[in-house]
Structure 1
Amino acid sequence: MAPTRTLKRLTTVIPAFALALGASIGLASAPAQAAVWNSCDQWGNTTLNGYTLYNNIWGSGAGSQCVWANSGTNWGVWADHPGTGGIKSYPNSKKVINKSITSLGSLSSSYHVSVPSSGAYNTSYDIWDTDYDYEIMLWVNRTGAVGPLGTSQGNLTLGGHTWTVYKGNNGANEVFSFVRTSNSTSGTVDILPLLKWIKDTKGWFGNETIGDVQFGYEITSSPGGLDFVTNNLTVSGG
């Protein structure tokens, strides 16, 4: 991926301001029932039942995007980004963990999504340590011309899935990407064994404190407007 990870992280703490979007776009992007919350702001965000939702349009050359949510675990996004290269956005739902790897008894997540068959994007977890020195991405599906940062370290079956592992650096932090070898729209990921594999088996980091577990859609292009729906998401552990 392009070395723009720091931008994606920093945008979650910049105050919100509205994009020049019509109110009709926001309504069109919402589900049939009235959503609890929706926003077309570039940095629009809210907290619902322990999860924080972000619209998070952080890349250059982005188009229009609106996010809606019934809860922190049932939400979606409508995005109309041009068919050009480079990541445009990462709308996501975040759960804060703030525990060291050795103090975690468990950490897992279940997901169920409905995603388009066109465009260029990946559906992924983005996991950070509290110092933002390390980024662990778990790609559960991808479509179009997208690929992870770094070089392949081979395949690994762990946490309930088989992944191709990539290791890289974006100039600001280390990035470890686990890309599922086949696309999935629902499942459960046992995250803790993956963190322990990085720490104990590979020695790529020490006993880091895991801060954020984010889940969302890293969108490169979605011309004409596409819908991405998180039907259900749970992040649990401690």
Structure 2
Amino acid sequence: MKRLLARPRLPRPRLRPAAAVLTAVAALLLPLTATQSAHAATTTCDPQGTISAGDYTIQANEWNSTAQQCVTYNGATAWSLDTANFGLPTSGAPATYPSIYKGCHWGACTPNSGLPIQISRLGSATSSWSTTQVGSGAYDVAYDLWINSTPTTTGQPDGTEIMIWLNSRGGVQPFGGKTGTSSAAGHNWDVWTGNQTSWKIISYVLQGGATSVNGLDVKALIDDAVGRGSVNTAHYLIDAEAGFEVWQGGQGLGTNSFSFSASTGGGNTGGDTQAPSVPGTPTVSGTTASSVSLAWAPSTDNVGVTGYDVYRGGQLAGSVTGTSFTDTGLSASTAYAYTVKAHDAAGNVSAASPAVTATTASGGGNPPPGGGCSATYAVSNDWGSGFTANVTVTSGGSPIHGWTVGWTYPGGQKITNAWNATVTQSGASVTAANASYNGSLGASASTSFGFQGTGSGAVPTLTCTAS
């Protein structure tokens, strides 16, 4: 799953079955107008397989089932779920979320996405989506927008997950509880909110349902979420996905066409249209095996510069208000190219500075083993008969190359599936070992894994052993 493939989605169990299924609204149904380009069909049956679709990526994203699923790409942005016969109860997490996305999903980024964008600087975000839905099974038809506190992340985003449900059937409901209604973006929505362990979830469920939307004002929904306290405007929109969470059935679901675009600006109400001057060429003020420090001469502006965006290889690495920045989490002995853009309070953005290339220092060989580690256990959801939980593993003062976490359940809990670790259980005793991609941790670094189980989610005492 490393190797720049999309990571599994963390589960969001639906705690209450719906009383009725959303039905399609004829006024919102839109015919497919985009002509699909000729393309030889490409199919993946890998649970975490991905297929490139130009500026988009199609992901199989089967994370909570071992049943076979096959996704076929038919050209342009069209794809279908050709093999699927899931059979999970709707009271728990879905089996899969096959979807198409633009942006950066768990560190896997699409080209020319325009993302990430800080919410306070989001000028517009629109999308059109035409779907094929089937009359059996249990599933939702939903966007998934991920918002993170920093411009990039290779793990679980820690800000807000915004879901936009166009339709559903089979009695499934969003995570959390219904807390209101909204008329944002010119449609009527039921609004559901809830909190996971490290991020918020807000879902907009289209009243009446639909199979297609055209020019949906996604920014209006984001603004609505900001107004409800679910989104921090200092955070970043990093990823926009659209697909099907499937509990039961699923074969025949598909996307006929999809588009998503987002841009900065649009918030300029004071008449300021002048962009700041180009920042000075950044200079490298220091490097380590995992970081690069930069500094640059400031920009000028007719009103005032409010901050700078630093780009690494064309992707936003971070935003600062001053004229220096340290980029962390890099690979040793690797060259990185950086540019800087300035922005003002009206959303005007300068041209990019000239680029500078920095090479990180050598890693200096393998550090000795035995740096030590600790682990913390947190229940993210508990619905009586089942639960989901996350464990965070943190290295000590020295790097480690692998880890094993153990615990004993006090009340007969049984783990049914897990992600980001190999988890085994014998009676009440559980052992979790790192996956191939998250065993090596730098000093005082962290990673996490999660799982779903039966029984109540009581918190056990953990042990952590490093190698």
What is the CA-CA distance between 1:130 and the residue it aligns to? 3.2
The amino acid that maps onto 1:68 is T
Q: 1:39·1:67 contact (CA, 8 Å) conserved in 2?
A: yes
- Aligned residue for 2:81? 77
Secondary structure class of the residue paired with 2:6: helix
User: Is 2:72 the partner of 1:54?
Assistant: no
Gaps of 5+ in 2: 9-37, 104-114, 150-156, 264-467
Larger radius of gyration between Structure 1 and Structure 2: 2
Secondary structure class of the residue paired with 1:13: coil
Q: Higher helix fraction: Structure 1 or Structure 2?
A: 1
- Aligned residue for 2:418? none
Secondary structure class of the residue paired with 1:230: strand
User: Is 2:99 the partner of 1:92?
Assistant: yes
Q: 1:94·1:215 contact (CA, 8 Å) conserved in 2?
A: yes
Q: Percent identity?
A: 31
TM-score with structure 1 length normalisation?
0.81
Q: 1:63·1:82 contact (CA, 8 Å) conserved in 2?
A: no
Rounded Cα–Cα distance in structure 2 between residues aligned with 1:72 and 1:171? 37
Superposed CA offset, 1:89-142 (max 9, x none): 000001112101222221011111111011000000000013412100000000
> Which of 167, 171, 182 does residue 141 from structure 1 map onto?
167
Rounded Cα–Cα distance in structure 1 between residues aligned with 2:81 and 2:58? 11
Q: 1:51·1:72 contact (CA, 8 Å) conserved in 2?
A: no
TM-score with structure 2 length normalisation?
0.42
Superposed CA offset, 1:131-167 (max 9, x none): 4121000000001021011121221111132110011
Matches within 5 A, 1:1-238: 12-13=6-7, 35-60=40-65, 62-71=66-75, 73-78=77-82, 79-82=84-87, 84-85=89-90, 86=92, 87-96=94-103, 97-131=115-149, 132-133=157-158, 134-188=160-214, 189-199=216-226, 201-207=227-233, 208-222=235-249, 226-238=251-263
The structure whose RCO (Cα within 8 Å, separation 6+) is larger is 1
What is the CA-CA distance between 1:193 and the residue it aligns to? 1.1
Aligned length: 207
What is the CA-CA distance between 1:83 and the residue it aligns to? 5.1
Gaps of 5+ in 1: 1-9, 15-32
Superposed CA offset, 1:35-91 (max 9, x none): 44210001001222110110011114x422110113462111121112533300000
Q: 1:164·1:181 contact (CA, 8 Å) conserved in 2?
A: yes
Rounded Cα–Cα distance in structure 1 between residues aligned with 2:137 and 2:161? 25
Q: 1:122·1:143 contact (CA, 8 Å) conserved in 2?
A: yes
The amino acid that maps onto 1:227 is G
Query: Residue 109 and residue 50 in structure 1: after superposition, are their counterparts in 2 closer, same or farther (change >3 A)?
Result: same
Query: Residue 147 and residue 11 in structure 1: after superposition, are their counterparts in 2 closer, same or farther (change >3 A)?
Result: farther
The amino acid that maps onto 2:46 is D
Q: 1:110·1:234 contact (CA, 8 Å) conserved in 2?
A: yes
Secondary structure class of the residue paired with 1:195: helix
- Aligned residue for 2:340? none
